[in-house]
Structure 1
Amino acid sequence: MQPKIHATTVVGIRHNGQVSLGADGQATMGNTVAKSNVRKVRTLMGGKVLAGFAGSTADAFTLIERFEEKLNSYGGNLKRAAIELAKDWRTDRYLRRLEAMLIVATKDDLLVISGTGDVLEPDNDIAAIGSGSMYAQSAAVALKKHAANLSAEEMVRESLHIAADICIYTNHNLTVETL
């Protein structure tokens, strides 16, 4: 059986009226770098919603498409779309097998969606998923506490660079989107 392509770091931060979501560009297959410039952060709803993924790439694309359908069905209501996706993800036989996680955000909300039916509003307006998530989250917490003069985008970029310096599954090829 061929190893799945996965591993990444995604971090989102809401700070001073902005929300920024970023990810590294590395995808691994087993212990080998398969691609170094994957784009794991997308804008949806005409630039009003951000979505980032970690996990199996094909699975994540499927989930982002389903999430966008839910957003359209519920008039752009982020929380409602996230809850409905999580319910489907947990109960649908096909979706239940998908291995990925999502961070979704608007200027007002930041959420983590998992395949176990969880929709989490993270503490401190900081969300992180993926193999380097704890490194990025730790850096983001410290930056938010001790460098509040930075923008959300600057905090996301620096958090990802710190994670890339530590996590072998995270690289410095970043994609960052800000609302």
Structure 2
Amino acid sequence: MTRVRSTTVLAIVHNGEVAIGADGQATMGNYVAKSNVRKIRKLQEGKIVTGFAGSTADAFTLLERFDEKLNSYGGNMKRAAIELAKDWRTDRYLRKLEAMLITADKDELLVVSGTGDVLEPDHQIAAIGSGAMYAQAAALALKKHASGLTAEEIVKESLHIAADICIYTNHNLIIETIK
């Protein structure tokens, strides 16, 4: 059975603002299964935003577990991410999940990977999914050479650039910010 996959997610911390965005495309094999998937979620009454890529059902499972960890650790994002990563490495069921998660609050940005890693990305830019490297390269260039743009504008333009290059990324964007 062919799995449904979700694609490009990009987050940036820039000029005191956090923005995270994703395209809306989910593919099944070599065709577009849905063009308006919502891969961005706000948690903890909007204080934390997350984005996911990978197998859709696996990503939702991961997101639910992360939300449980946030509630268990009083909204401490880093602690919740580390505890989730520990569970991911040791739990037989979670180890089979094929998804990744970007999570951000007003102060930091983290990537939680399927290998149980919690990464704080360089340059305060994180990208996951099929078009991640295109979006990340565009965001790095815009952050460096167009510093007057807002975090939201950088995410939007970078995702559009990725969508122009990556066949698994579309222009149907959802972007959330924390100021």
TM-score range, shorter chain: over 0.9
Aligned with 1:39: secondary structure? coil
Q: Tell me the distance in 1 between the aligned counterparts of 2:25 and 2:85.
A: 26
- Could you tell me the TM-score, scaled by structure 2's length? 0.99
- The alignment status of 1:102 with 2:81, answered yes or no, reads no
Quote how far apart the aligned CAs of 1:115 are. Answer: 1.6
**In structure 1, what is the equivalent of residue 49 of structure 2?**
50
Q: Tell me the distance in 2 between the aligned counterparts of 1:63 and 1:55.
A: 11
* Structure-to-structure mapping, 1:145-156, within 5 angstroms: 145-156=144-155
Quote how far apart the aligned CAs of 1:169 are. Answer: 0.1
Q: Tell me the distance in 1 between the aligned counterparts of 2:164 and 2:131.
A: 10
Cα deviation digits, residues 28-81 of structure 1 (max 9, x gap):
000100000000000000000000000000000000000000001001111000
**In structure 2, what is the equivalent of residue 140 of structure 1?**
139
Aligned with 1:94: secondary structure? helix
Q: Tell me the distance in 2 between the aligned counterparts of 1:7 and 1:36.
A: 10
Q: Tell me the distance in 1 between the aligned counterparts of 2:29 and 2:116.
A: 27
**In structure 2, what is the equivalent of residue 160 of structure 1?**
159
Q: Tell me the distance in 1 between the aligned counterparts of 2:38 and 2:6.
A: 13
Aligned with 1:46: secondary structure? coil
Cα deviation digits, residues 128-168 of structure 1 (max 9, x gap):
00000000000000000000000000000000000000000
Q: Give runs of ≥4 in structure 1 deviating > 3 Å.
A: none
**RMSD between superposed Cα atoms in Å:** 0.5
Unmatched 5+ stretches in structure 2: none
Q: Tell me the distance in 2 between the aligned counterparts of 1:115 and 1:74.
A: 21
Quote how far apart the aligned CAs of 1:7 are. Answer: 3.8
**In structure 2, what is the equivalent of residue 92 of structure 1?**
91
Identity level (%): 77
Aligned with 2:128: secondary structure? strand
* Structure-to-structure mapping, 1:1-179, within 5 angstroms: 2-179=1-178
Query: How many residues matched?
Result: 178
Unmatched 5+ stretches in structure 1: none
